[in-house]
């Protein structure tokens, strides 16, 4: 596998370091990821409620790095959705989406789920201001309903081909916290797009 990976890197005119380790995938990848800016990996089938899988969750939780779960098919990532609730991790996801969009000339669609239009407009206003400062093409979407459903609906309607979202640490009774991205997993039940999870 490593030999095939090396061939693909060379064919793409890229350099890479091949590392072979023993141990559980979650622990080994989390350790290796600490020296990286971002981690790319595949994800489970969209047909399950745990579509991101335990390895993605472990990497978000332990490595502190941006984790990009690739889709089944390549994506141009020209129409990026951002799940935005105003919290710190979603602000970091928005900033990353804006930087990405400024390099590859993508459009960013900021999505916020709220039944309160006034409060929701204020939350979206902070995202719009940040993207304006980055001089990125964007649209904003404020709709009532549960976040997963709202984001999935907008992603489908607009034709977004990637999703940026912040992870939230959810405490578990008697156990360590887990990286929570329930709205992302709801979306992945309905579509096969790459997901960028920002811790």
For residue 164, the tally of other CB atoms under 10 A from its CB is 31
Backbone angles phi, psi at 49, to 5 degrees: -70, -20
- How far is 59 from 39, CA to CA, in rounded Å? 8
Q: Do the Cβ atoms of 68 and 165 come closer than 8 Å?
A: no
Return all residues near 141 (Cβ < 8 A) that are at least 6 apart: 109, 110, 111, 112, 150, 154, 158
197 pLDDT tier (thresholds 50, 70, 90): confident
The CATH number for 145's domain is 3.40.50.12370
How many domains does the structure of the chain reveal? 1
Q: What is the pTM of this model?
A: 0.84
Torsion sign (Cα): 146, 148, 151, 154 = negative
**pLDDT (tens digit, 9 = 90+) per residue, 63-74?**
778 888 888 788
Type and span of the H or E element at 10: helix 2-11
Q: What is the DSSP letter of 108?
A: E
Binned at pLDDT 50, 70 and 90, residue 28 comes out as confident
Domain that holds residue 48: 2-198
* Predicted confidence (pLDDT) at residue 170 exceeds the cutoff of 80: no
The residue among 44, 89, 66, 30 whose CA lies nearest residue 185 is 44
pLDDT tens by residue, 91-105: 999 999 999 999 999
Distance CA 77, CA 92 (A): 18
* Tokens encoding 165: 């979202």
Q: In the structure, what pLDDT confidence band is assigned to residue 177 with cuts at 50, 70 and 90?
A: very low
pLDDT on residue 175: 45
């Amino acid at each position: 596998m490593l030999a095939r990976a090396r061939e693909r890197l060379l064919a793409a005119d890229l350099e890479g370091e091949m590392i072979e380790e023993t141990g559980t995938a979650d622990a080994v990848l989390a350790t290796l990821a600490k020296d990286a800016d971002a981690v790319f990996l595949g994800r489970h089938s969209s047909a399950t409620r745990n579509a991101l899988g335990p390895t993605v969750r472990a990497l978000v939780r332990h490595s502190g790095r941006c984790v990009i779960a690739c889709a089944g098919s390549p994506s141009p990532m020209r129409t990026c959705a951002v799940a935005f609730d105003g919290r710190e991790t979603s602000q970091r996801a928005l900033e990353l989406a804006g930087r990405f969009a400024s390099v590859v000339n993508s459009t960013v669609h900021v999505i916020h789920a709220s039944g309160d239009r006034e409060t929701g407009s204020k939350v979206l206003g902070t995202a719009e201001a940040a993207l304006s400062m980055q001089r990125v093409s964007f649209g904003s979407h404020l709709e009532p309903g549960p976040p997963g459903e709202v984001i999935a609906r907008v992603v489908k309607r607009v034709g977004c081909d990637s999703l940026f979202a912040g992870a939230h640490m959810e405490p578990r009774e008697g156990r360590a916290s887990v990286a929570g991205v329930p709205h992302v997993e709801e979306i992945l039940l309905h579509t096969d797009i790459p997901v960028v999870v920002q811790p």
